[in-house]
Amino acid sequence: MSKPWFLYMIECVDGSIYTGIAVDVAARYAAHCAGSGARYTRSHAPRRLLGYEVHPDRSSASKAEYRIKLLSASEKRLYAASLMQATVQTDD
């Protein structure tokens, strides 16, 4: 049985939203905050983790990530509101 994968969404300090996938959301978010995550979050610092959703495998998570990245900014915010609440928060 494979580990579940997670789709997660991060709000950046400039108001943009980053979407990614990982097997450990907390560790991946910490990497983004430390500047060792994705290239995008190195130049758009993370403000907070908006939420995440569980997928049974990497393929499913990747397909969901692709669909979300096609959404407009307002549609991404609506989708993020429907995600499971994130437990990792930054200092605001």
Least confident segment among 7-11, 49-53, 86-90: 86-90
- Judge whether residue 44 has pLDDT over 60: yes
Yes or no: say if 47 and 12 are a contact pair by the CB < 8 Å rule. Answer: yes
| Other beta carbons within 10 Å of 77 | 15
pLDDT at 88: 46
pLDDT at 86: 56
Give the domains, in start order, of the chain with CATH numbers: 5-85 (3.40.1440.10)
Check the CA dihedral 43-46-47-52 and report its sign.
positive
pLDDT band at 23 (very low <50, low <70, confident <90, very high): very high
pLDDT at 2: 81
